[in-house]
Amino acid sequence: SQQGEEDPQALSIQEGENATMNCSYKTSINNLQWYRQNSGRGLVHLILIRSNEREKHSGRLRVTLDTSKKSSSLLITASRAADTASYFCATDEGNKLVFGAGTILRVKS
Amino acid sequence: DAGVIQSPRHEVTEMGQEVTLRCKPISGHNSLFWYRQTMMRGLELLIYFNNNVPIDDSGMPEDRFSAKMPNASFSTLKIQPSEPRDSAVYFCASSFGTGVREQYFGPGTRLTVT
């Protein structure tokens, strides 16, 4: 079962622009995580935000969490061609992570 | 430090054959996860271990799939007999600590069953 659902499914932007991806989920959570997957590779953890946090930053990444709306967003500022990848949100369900279907981001140089 | 190591990276086999995928988690991590990724179903958790003990195998599709973790540094996922619908990328991931924490993924094994 997929707890998180990302939106949009695909996003194409120019290098230097900002990219925003959204994630909605159904049940209450303890934390929400974002991962990146480059083509043909494993997933790489980007950031974890706890349910009592509203915003978190890591370099060019900014994650927000709205537990009342059961949604999160990932903002990548000043995008680079190397940011081209699939991005997944994952929420805790019991003692395991449940991943969404992902957003495919393409950054054109 | 070495990350999660998986072998083989690619496996092509014929329907009916036994397939064994291997994983070495990051040293010191106490949880290990096996996932399957396909275009149709996305990323699915098959089974996870904590301190070498299987905790939740509800994602294992059927009895043809089995997983073991004989020690803290090694795990296997076996499919016997394999079928074409098992074709997918299989990932192993590990994490440290209690509760749901960040997971570190291996490079995956791309399995093709003809």
Q: Residue A22's closest CA among A77, A89, A104, A81?
A: A89
- Residue A1's pLDDT is 46
pLDDT of amino acid A3: 62
- Entry field: residues in chain A: 109
pLDDT of residue B97: 86
Residue B82 pLDDT:
97
- At residue A60, the pLDDT reads 98
For A63-91, the DSSP string reads EEEETTTTEEEEEE-S--GGG-EEEEEEE
In this prediction, residue A95 carries a pLDDT of 79
The residues of chain A scoring below 50 in pLDDT are 1
| B102:A44 CB<8 A | no
Asked if residue B57 lies in contact with residue B32, where contact means CB atoms within 8 angstroms, the answer is no
Chain B CB contacts of A99 under 8 Å are 42-43
User: Which one of B7, B43, B50 would you mutate to disrupt binding with A, by most A Cβ within 10 Å of its Cβ?
Assistant: B43
**Chain B residue whose CA is closest to A48:** B102
Q: Which range among A14-23, A90-99, B88-97, B104-113 shows the weakest confidence by mean pLDDT?
A: A90-99
Using 50, 70 and 90 to split pLDDT, how confident is the model at B99? confident
Query: Is the minimum CB–CB distance between A101 and chain B shorter than 8 Å?
Result: yes
- The arithmetic mean of pLDDT across residues B57-81, rounded, is 96
**Looking at residue B87, what is its pLDDT?**
98
Q: Do the chains contact at B105 and A88, CB–CB below 8 Å? A: no
Share of chain B above pLDDT 70, in %: 99
